[in-house]
Amino acid sequence: MLSGLEQGVAAFLVGLLGGVHCVGMCGGIVGTLTLGLPVGVRSQAPRLLPYQLAYNLGRIASYGVAGALLGGLGQAAFLALPLQRGLYLIAALFMLLLGLYLAGWWPGFARLEGLGTGLWRRLEPLGRRLLPIQSLGQALGIGFIWAWIPCGLVYSVLIWALAAGSALQGALLMLAFGLGTLPTLLGLGMLAGLAARFTEQVWLRRLAGLLVLGFGLHALWQFFQA
């Protein structure tokens, strides 16, 4: 399987250049959270930035928690060697599918989003209790809950985290992914048009898809060589 560094780089690229999905999925959330801030905050970039960072810090931290849970579950499964190899194979295949998705050649990850609808129905009311945002602590809490909105891209990386090898590796994988999404979602909050235009560049999507496809093919090659 890929080394931890290789997996982290691939996950970061998935987050960074999967931004078209982020714009469509989270653009409305970012806009609503920004417009819900006091006028004196949202109209001044130096005052707005800490809130945007808090939203995203909470979101990325939540990804890390989810990655640790899935990585720990996978680590327990690694005690059975056949199951371990099965998880490695699934992770490699998901990397290939992620590459196809990022390049715009296969939209199938949208179908995964229905898996988290039940959980989101339970968490979403907790987020409402934190509105309207009046403090950075509230912004951090909203971000932590926001991470659990049903998202096929997030779920696909979580399945990848299942085969990371440990709770720590799963957490690091999801943190790398979350950091990759940061420029787009922070840009949406601060300069919405700029972030959207960046993620619309077709050649960037193709490049990201090809890079992740390469990682997936390398992982498959290692799997069959073992």
44-62 pLDDT, tens digit per residue, is 888 889 999 999 999 999 9
This prediction's pTM: 0.84
Cα separation, 83 vs 165, whole angstroms: 12
- Check pLDDT > 70 for residue 63: yes
Number of domains in the chain: 1
- Check pLDDT > 60 for residue 195: no
Confidence of residue 109 (pLDDT cuts 50, 70, 90): low
Coil, helix or strand at residue 82:
helix
Q: Which of 4, 37, 1, 17 is nearest to 181 (CA)?
A: 17
List the domain range (segments joined by +) for residue 92. 4-225
